[in-house]
Amino acid sequence: MPSAASHGNHHYPNSSSKSSNANRNRQNQFSDRRQKILQQRKSLPIASVEKRLVDEIRKNDILIIVGETGSGKTTQIPQFLLGAKFCHDGKVIGITQPRRVAAVTVAKRVAEECGVELGQEVGYSVRFDDTSSSSTRIKYMTDGLLLREALLDPYLSKYSVIIVDEAHERTVQTDVLMGLLKSVQLARSNSASHGQGLNFGNKSVNSVTSSEKENSGQSNSFLKKEHQYAPLKLIIMSASLDARTFSEYFCGAKAVHVQGRQFPVDIFYTRHAEPDYLDAALITIFQIHLGEGPGDILVFLTGQEEIESIERLINERLTKSPQESQKLLVVPIFAALPAEQQLRVFAPAPSGFRKVILATNIAETSVTIPGIKYVIDPGLVKARSYDPAKGMESLNVVPTSKSQALQRSGRAGREGPGKCFRLYPENEFGKLEDSTKPEIKRCNLSNVILQLKALGVDDILGFDFIEKPSRAAIIKSLEQLFLLGALTDECRLSDPVGYQMARLPLDPVYSKALILASQFNCLEEMLITVAMLSAESIFYAPRDKLDESRTAMKSFSSPEGDHITMIKVYRAYSEFLEKKSIEMGKAKSEKALRKWCKENFINSRSLRHACDIHRQILGHVQQMGLSLASCGDDMLEYRRCLAASFFLNAAVKQPEGMYRALASGQVVQIHPSSVLFRQKPECVIFNELVQTNNKYVRNLTRIDYLWLMELAPQYYAVQN
């Protein structure tokens, strides 16, 4: 092709020939990359069984696919199905992921592999971020999002195939989704022949009462008896699932195993148990950095605090060490990090640098982080546990399961051979549980029940769960929802409170607090409270600067408690940001803000996360038409609202500074981080119970005991 210069473009010959060269370079790079991707796709173990897999999916309405990590399940199978015309009539292939970061990054990769723009044939849809369009045929999403879609379209009618990926994780949402999909599939098959409605557990959804139909406007959509739906294909997928449990649940569904992995991963164990796994992780990072060949490192840690402390320690060591060991770039990833910051881990390290990614189990499944060659796995994870007798949920650090360890090592060996360093002896591996206990068996079920009720499921105890939660846990959560006013005496969703609570993507207690706050004229304050409580660790107090951090905190602290203190911090932060943005523009103000946070011992990442959550919930409450008022300086009304909302978490003072939690009867202490630690008021409400050697309550506000009787008579008039 002749260049622009040879066409007599006399004015800018150099620049146009430069730009056409640049274009040609770009085109070459683009086609090189496409060639490389094509080659990579062909070399995946799953590529050799494409025809067999498609045949099996054609023959079986439900198929369980087990294949090694990195074999190509998530990225390739949807493309096989698209090629095999599973999307005729504009139907969509939906693939669910337990985590949004996986849904987003895998969709990007598949769009690139297909050579299409993200949001066209390939897209993703996660809470508050939807890139799918009417042209989307392959749609990645979180399992929670598909559940929400089912509220509006109970037959999930736009999907021809739904793939539940990473089913081994057994998150609450995956388990509920599985039950829902089983019913939807049955109903869609039946609708083709008999026009029958959805059937959940013991009762048909068609049996909802007339008052429910009038109330919800959603239950009616279950009743499109006249409509005929095409059958739905279901695929359950993972590298490490117990195929038998799933096969039994889906009435003997066929399981196929895809053999072979792309690249080997060598596994190393420590000779002895490590007394301090954080220290062991730090040593291993530097051993790899200084002793191993090129390649990035992925370290699994249990939470934000741990990640931030290791990040500090690495950076401290780098500033002290000689030049050649400095080319190490630390990038954290955890759930509370804003989405755009999470995606930083996927960007290549600058030339000559090695990247070390510090991650929670958010990076454990599904994702391919380019460049990762080494994985460090201390073998621990933070997991929820629930005690139905006390109605208390807690987060504890526990050993991973074998299946989690396998997933973690599987993050290496995706682009070339890899190494995984497990920071425990090999015989310990043998002692690990095969798979993780399903979350539904170890969490408070109020949220699940609220979702199921909103989907029209009346009989929770009879719902066909893949593994039933304990009866005690179901009853305790039903009781809690009833006390919060979400359920009627007949155990149906109440109108409007129950329906409003189901619409908010929050813990039911927080949803109720927002609804009540609109009546107490303090919704503005409660929005901040819920956002701040949803973000982790707002304050940080390094051990060597305890006094300084306490003094800094004093300027925000309120004698009424931690909630008002948090509101003060949030407002001071927002005011500072607004002022500085006007004075110095957005980019510079960000820097000033980080400095302000540092001086005040505030975690700027957490605060940004709180602002993000605030913005999102604000959108919801505005859509719901709740009255967005502020109580101004009258914090009494706000505290009364806290008491009315969190009455199940009230505690009264006992001799010697101890407290008794009224609902569970447990003896607890005020956590030293609370502004009420020294004051020891007579009665408090709290949001969190932390168990270390002692039981501590955190995030407290002083209340008047008599308010409990007045504002929560449904509980206190009877109980105490």
Ligand X SMILES: Nc1ncnc2c1ncn2[C@@H]1O[C@H](COP(=O)(O)OP(=O)(O)OP(=O)(O)O)[C@@H](O)[C@H]1O
Give the single-character DSSP code of 231: -
Q: Which residue lies nearer to ligand X by CB, 106 or 711?
A: 106
Cα dist from 317 to 321, 350, 351, 356, whole Å:
6, 20, 21, 14
Q: Which residue lies nearer to ligand X by CB, 73 or 671?
A: 73
Instruction: Dump the DSSP string for 415-454.
Output: SS-EEEEESS-HHHHHHS-SSPPPGGGSS--HHHHHHHHH
Q: Which residue lies nearer to ligand X by CB, 143 or 308?
A: 143
Contact status: 78 vs ligand X (CB under 6 A)? no
- Give how many residues touch ligand X by CB under 6 A: 21
User: Using the rule CB under 6 A, which residue among 72, 94, 197, 438 binds ligand X?
Assistant: 72
Contact status: 195 vs ligand X (CB under 6 A)? no
Rg (CA), the chain: 27
CB of 68 to ligand X, least distance (A): 7
Contact status: 366 vs ligand X (CB under 6 A)? yes
Instruction: Dump the DSSP string for 488-545.
Output: -TTSSBPTTHHHHHHHSSS-HHHHHHHHHHHHTT-HHHHHHHHHHHHSS-SB---GGG
Helix axes 604-624, 523-534, angle to 10 degrees: 130
Other beta carbons within 10 angstroms of residue 271's beta carbon come to: 7
User: Using the rule CB under 6 A, which residue among 99, 100, 109, 453 binds ligand X?
Assistant: 109
**234 to 253, contacts with ligand X by CB under 6 A?**
239
Stretch 421-440: interaction string toward ligand X, x if CB under 6 A: --------------------
Helix axes 635-645, 523-534, angle to 10 degrees: 60
How far is the C-alpha of 347 from the C-alpha of 370, rounded, in Å? 8
The stretch near ligand X (CB under 6 A) out of 71-79, 290-298, 418-426, 574-582 is: 71-79
How far is the C-alpha of 17 from the C-alpha of 31, rounded, in Å? 21
Contact status: 418 vs ligand X (CB under 6 A)? no
Q: Which residue lies nearer to ligand X by CB, 366 or 521?
A: 366
Contact status: 70 vs ligand X (CB under 6 A)? yes
User: Using the rule CB under 6 A, which residue among 415, 479, 590, 704 binds ligand X?
Assistant: 415
User: Using the rule CB under 6 A, which residue among 53, 64, 73, 419 binds ligand X?
Assistant: 73
Instruction: Write the single-letter amino acid at 55.
Output: D
The stretch near ligand X (CB under 6 A) out of 49-57, 350-358, 364-372, 424-432 is: 364-372
Distance of CA 411 to the CA centre of its chain: 19
Stretch 116-155: interaction string toward ligand X, x if CB under 6 A: ----------------------------------------
CB of 361 to ligand X, least distance (A): 13
User: Using the rule CB under 6 A, which residue among 65, 69, 521, 662 binds ligand X?
Assistant: 69
How far is the C-alpha of 70 from the C-alpha of 368, rounded, in Å? 8
Q: Give the neighbor-by-neighbor strand order of the sheet with 159-164.
A: 129-130, 122-126, 138-142, 92-97, 159-164, 233-238, 62-67, 254-258
User: Using the rule CB under 6 A, which residue among 62, 67, 87, 695 binds ligand X?
Assistant: 67
Q: Which residue lies nearer to ligand X by CB, 366 or 447?
A: 366
How far is the C-alpha of 195 from the C-alpha of 189, rounded, in Å? 9
Give the tokens for residue 516.
Answer: 């009540």
Give the tokens for residue 413.
Answer: 């060996």
CB of 563 to ligand X, least distance (A): 41
Q: Which residue lies nearer to ligand X by CB, 180 or 239?
A: 239
Q: Which residue lies nearer to ligand X by CB, 415 or 536?
A: 415
Residues engaged in binding ligand X (CB under 6 A): 40, 44, 67, 69-76, 109, 239, 262, 365-366, 368, 370, 410, 414-415
